[in-house]
Structure 1
Amino acid sequence: MTIPAPLGWAAEGLAFVLELAALVALAWWGFTRPVSRLASLALGLGAPLLAAVIWGAFAAPQASFALPLVGVLAVKALVFGAAVVALVSIRHRGLALWFGGVVLLDTVVVTVLRAAE
């Protein structure tokens, strides 16, 4: 079965946008913690940086460490799940639910499309 190229591009493009949105959610969470300015700065910069390092090492298309599909999906669940929890903790439950749903749907589509290649 041949998948139309525009569908693949759209799904992969959305996946990238969702990855960036997860980093933004983690930064938003960190910068809005009711802690000292220094701690808030550390959390706001550190949480997305840690997520990006984990993603790059294990879940990116050119990851440093090759994992089986289940491992890659677990890393994605960890990073995206942390972003959803971050949104809930800053009282954006509707956005968290929407984001989590779109992430789930797009991850399924991208995984199926990549398996069909």
Structure 2
Amino acid sequence: MNVVKGANLALMFLLELGVLAGAAIWGFTLDANPIVRIIAGIGAPAVFIVVWALFAAGGGKNARFPLTGPWRAAVEVAWFGGAAVLIGLAVTTVAGIAFFAVWAVNGALRLLWRQA
């Protein structure tokens, strides 16, 4: 069981990286001039990084303003949901929905197993 729990935490880390990749892909593929695409491709992941660092890094242990309970859940829903929307816009709607669904299952298991 410890291997499965560890895999769930590894999946959480990969999902966090997926948020940053999705934000970057969205920015770099915008239908805009190259300067706007570069700014969005770098800026969108930067915004996500700042939000995560302020409120949720390290399961809340390394965050500047750590949140717990429903506030932590709200940040996660907004963070992963925002990425799912950007992935849906940049790739396909199905990809965005699949990303959010994988996060939801991961989050439910983290709650069930009391993981950070």
Give me the TM-score of the superposition, normalised by structure 2.
0.89
Give me the TM-score of the superposition, normalised by structure 1.
0.88
Return the letter of the residue paired with 1:78: A
Q: For residue 95 of structure 2, what is the aligned residue in structure 1?
A: 95
Runs of 4+ in 1 over 4 A off after TM superposition: none
| Aligned-residue offset at 1:23 | 0.8
Q: For residue 85 of structure 1, what is the aligned residue in structure 2?
A: 85
| Aligned-residue offset at 1:111 | 2.3
| Aligned-residue offset at 1:68 | 2.2
Which structure carries more relative contact order (alpha carbon 8 Å, separation 6+)? Answer: 1
Distance 2:93 2:81 in 1: 13
Consecutive unaligned residues in structure 1, runs of 5 or more: none
The Cα RMSD (Å) is: 1.6
Distance 1:112 1:65 in 2: 24
Distance 1:94 1:51 in 2: 22
Q: Which of the numbers 23, 27, 36 marks the counterpart of 2:33?
A: 36
Aligned length, in residue pairs:
113
Q: For residue 26 of structure 1, what is the aligned residue in structure 2?
A: 23
Distance 2:94 2:113 in 1: 29
- Residues 40-97 of structure 1 deviation map (CA, whole Å, 9 limit, x = unaligned): 1111011111101101111122211121221111111111111111122225111112
Return the letter of the residue paired with 2:110: V
What is the identity percentage for the equivalent residue pairs of Structure 1 and Structure 2? 29
Q: For residue 48 of structure 1, what is the aligned residue in structure 2?
A: 45
Consecutive unaligned residues in structure 2, runs of 5 or more: none
